Amino acid sequence: MFEVDAALHPFEVSDLGGESLLDLISDTRDVEWLAARRKLRLAYQLCVTNPAGPGIDPATWGDGLPGMAGDYDATLGGEGTPLVARFVVEDWAAATGVSRQSGKQFLANTLDLHHRLPRAHAKVEALELAVWKAFRLAEDTHDVSAECARWIDNLLHERGGNYSFPAMAKAVKLGVAKFHPEKLEDDNGLPGRDDWDVTVDHNQGAEGTSTLEVIGGSLDLAKFHDLVSDEATTMGRLGDSDTLGQRKAKALGVIADRQATLDLLGILDTEPLVHPETGREVIRRKSYLKARLFVHLSVADLATMCTSAATVPSGEVGVVDSNLFGPATTDLIAGYLKQLGTDARVTPVIDTTKQWSVDQHDPPAAMRDQVIARDPHCVHPVAGLRHRPHRPLRRRRPTGADEPGRLGAVVS
């Protein structure tokens, strides 16, 4: 397949490689930016040579949308831009092969960039800023005043000409807060105070990974993020070789454990804690993680409840449904126990097929747990069968004949 370079020299694409290939790729980028700049210049020339005036209606966002009023009657460009004849939109859309709505957006961005964002426009002219990125800034500042748009434009220039999406979003937010504070309370689809919440999702990550989402006060979240970052930095200085992001995630658990140890609620408030809905007293506890985990495994479980369809290798354990964080391997559960430390209480493995007895009236705790695990429901004889006299519990021996051998463990 033959192409031509900037000097109109033909070349075969399949013959390219090394530096020559990279040079042509860079040339392609330059050609795209030049073409976009030329298109921008032509669009502006079309606008300024066809102004709206006496007998010529201006183009508005509601053109071609019958019955639309209000904001749809606004002219294409933002405050401070010249009016453009209505027929310009149709001419541009037809010449470029786009819809009327796309044509309106392109012309509006062109007008805003020339008259409201002169520094960004100068960057585009110098081929230092892509047109599509400048248009993103024009759209984000379209509804603010001309003074606010100029302020945002100057701010980005003073901060080194960084036009990344985060930098532009921050500049726009600062400009809106300075010139249009009332807009901060508008219901524009962005999260606000009514959306403040803390949620955790245990089903969207890999094993042992969950997602924590927080929407709250900016100051509160900034302070907490600083606390997490400081803790992660300290962990790194103490020899933790994980990445900063991983240390920050682990720092949440460290902070929670430290807070639980301090038990600030008990220090600062000696009055009983009362649940706001039930009115019952809430017992303080040192650990903030309140969970009771039941894990039951059988030979069949090990063969079918593994992380993959393959057979579980010898010596490994499959996945169990912990009802706490979703499916988890016993290795992961062991990790949870290490994190809980002294707050974890483990009941030894319960073998429901074990046959044993004791010479005492009351069964030991292990036997009681074994019977409960084996018979989770009432085992009284059904009606119609001859009643058999109750025998002392010390003579009962679990047989486990009705089901495969099961192992149980309780973690709380």
Q: Per residue in 178-190, pLDDT tens?
A: 888 777 655 455 6
CA distance 85 to 244: 56
The angle formed by the CA atoms of residues 24, 30 and 31, to the nearest 5 degrees, is 85
Q: Tell whether 196 is covered by a domain.
A: no
Bridge partners of 409, per DSSP, are 295
Write down the residue that tokens 């650990």 correspond to: 287
Answer with the one of 227, 261, 282 that is the final residue of a domain: 282
Same domain, 46 and 131: yes
Statement: the pTM of the whole predicted model exceeds 0.85: no
Establish if 193 belongs to a structural domain.
Answer: no
Q: Report the pLDDT value the prediction gives residue 124, as an integer from 0 to 100.
A: 96
Q: Same domain for 29 and 155?
A: yes
> Contact, 82 vs 124, CB < 8 A?
no
* Domain that residue 133 falls in: 2-185
Question: Do 341 and 276 fall within a single domain?
Answer: no
Residues 278 and 300 in one domain: no
* Whether residue 226 is found in the same domain as residue 134: no
Based on the domain organization, do 278 and 232 belong to the same domain? Answer: yes
DSSP symbol at 341: G
**294 closest CA partner among 341, 347, 331:** 347
Asked if residue 201 is part of any domain, the answer here is no
> Are both 272 and 304 inside the same structural domain?
no
Structure tokens at 363: 């069964």
| Residue 203 falls inside a structural domain | no
Q: Does 307 share its domain with 381?
A: yes
Same domain, yes or no: 278 and 309: no
Same domain, 82 and 146: yes
Distance CA(149)–CA(112), nearest Å, equals 9
Would you give the distance in Å from CA 89 to the centre of its chain?
Answer: 39
Last residue of a domain, one of 282, 314, 338: 282
Same domain (yes/no): 79, 98: yes
Question: Which pLDDT score is estimated for 270?
Answer: 55
State the Cα–Cα distance between residues 306 and 314, nearest whole angstrom.
Answer: 12
Which DSSP string corresponds to 185-241? Answer: GS-SSS--GGG-EEEEESSSSSTT--EEEEE--HHHHHHHHHHHHHHHHHHHHTT--
pLDDT for 204: 79
Instruction: Count the neighbouring beta carbons within 10 Å of the beta carbon of residue 286.
Output: 13
Q: Which of 150, 185, 220 corresponds to the end of one domain?
A: 185
| Residues paired with residue 321 on neighbouring β-strands, in sequence order | 327
Alpha-carbon distance of 195 to 215, in angstroms, equals 7
Say what the alpha-carbon torsion angle 186, 188, 194, 197 is, to the nearest 10 degrees. Answer: -140
How many whole angstroms separate alpha carbon 74 and alpha carbon 185?
A: 22
Torsion sign, CA atoms 59, 65, 67, 72: negative
Closest CA to 177 of 136, 148, 150, 215: 148
Q: What is the per-residue pLDDT for 390? A: 42
| Residue 346 and residue 406 in one domain | yes
Residues 6+ apart with CB under 8 A from 105: 139
Query: pLDDT truncated to tens, each residue of the chain (412 aa)?
Result: 656 555 556 666 666 667 767 777 777 888 899 999 999 999 999 999 999 988 888 998 886 555 444 446 788 999 999 999 999 999 999 999 999 999 999 999 999 999 999 999 999 999 999 999 999 999 999 999 999 999 999 999 998 889 999 899 888 888 887 888 777 655 455 667 778 899 989 887 777 889 999 998 876 888 888 889 988 988 888 888 999 999 999 999 888 877 766 655 555 455 666 666 677 776 554 444 445 555 655 555 545 544 333 333 333 334 444 444 444 555 656 666 666 665 566 555 667 778 888 888 888 887 887 887 777 667 766 544 444 444 444 434 444 434 444 444 444 3
Query: Has residue 195 been placed in a domain?
Result: no
> pLDDT at position 367, please?
85
Show the tokens assigned to 177: 């807060």
**What domain count does the chain have?**
3
Nearest CA to 347 out of 330, 369, 326, 332 is that of 369
Return the pLDDT at 98: 94
